Each structure stands twice: as C-alpha cells, then as structure tokens.
Structure 1
C-alpha cells in the first residue's frame, strides 16, 4: 500500500526536498502532498474528503466499496 504524507510547508522547504531528491537523497516512500497553509489544505480536503482520509488511515488496502461502506456513502460518491 502506498503512503502519502500531507504537510504544510514553505516553498523553501519544498525546494530543499526537490533538490535533495535530484541529488539522489530522496527517501523511499517519501511521497508528499504539500500545502503552503492550513487554509489551503482544508480547502482541498473538505470535510467529506477528510472523512475518507480518516477511515483509510492506518488500514491496509481497501476497495472503493469498503471505503464507501465505512463512510456510509454510495460507492459512486467516493472519489477515486
């Protein structure tokens, strides 16, 4: 299962990681989605999306149907 880290970072922090990656210093499994501010993060992760992230956190692989069941929604309402 792939792990993605959500973080709030400055542009200089992101650039530092990009440069480290370009020089082969990237850690395996260090996949990130970075936001400049908490408000940006919450704009993208609206409450219903955050609920999906919450139920998936710490679990193994889940099917879309299982995620939908855990958030009590129709599977068509769960984004891929």
Structure 2
C-alpha cells in the first residue's frame, strides 16, 4: 500500500529534504506532495477532493467503488 503525505512547507524546506535524500541522509519513504501555503493546497484540492482525502486517511487500501460509497457519489465521479 502506498502512502502519500500532504504537507505545507517552504521551498527551502523541500530543497533541504531533497538534498539530504540525495546525500543518503534520509531513506526513501512515503510519497509527499508539498504546498507552500494552506491556501495553495485549497486551490489545488477542491472541497470534493479534500473529502476524498479525508475518508481515505488512516485506512488501508480502498477500491474506487468503496471511496465513492464513503463520499456518497457515483464511482464514475471519483477521480483516479
């Protein structure tokens, strides 16, 4: 199962993490999506997408149909 971490970080924090990883100081871990501000995150992740993130948080693997059921939407309306 893949885990994706959503975070708010400055560009310099992201660069420090990348350089540390490139120099072997950090192990490759979970995938991370970083935003410079909370407003950037909200601009990219619309409320319906954030609802999907919320229902998936802390769960094991879920099918698209199960995610759709949890957000009370047709599975065709849930992005992959």
The alignment's TM-score, normalised by the length of structure 1, stands at 0.93
Write the distance in 2 (CA, Å) between the matches of 1:26 and 1:79. Answer: 32
Shift of 1:26: 2.5
Which consecutive residues of structure 1, in runs of 5 or more, have no partner in the other structure?
none
Runs of 4+ aligned residues of structure 1 deviating over 3 Å after TM superposition are none
Write the distance in 1 (CA, Å) between the matches of 2:49 and 2:69. Answer: 14
Shift of 1:28: 3.8
Write the distance in 2 (CA, Å) between the matches of 1:33 and 1:26. Answer: 17
Which consecutive residues of structure 2, in runs of 5 or more, have no partner in the other structure?
none
Provide the alpha-carbon RMSD of the alignment. 1.0
Shift of 1:12: 0.5
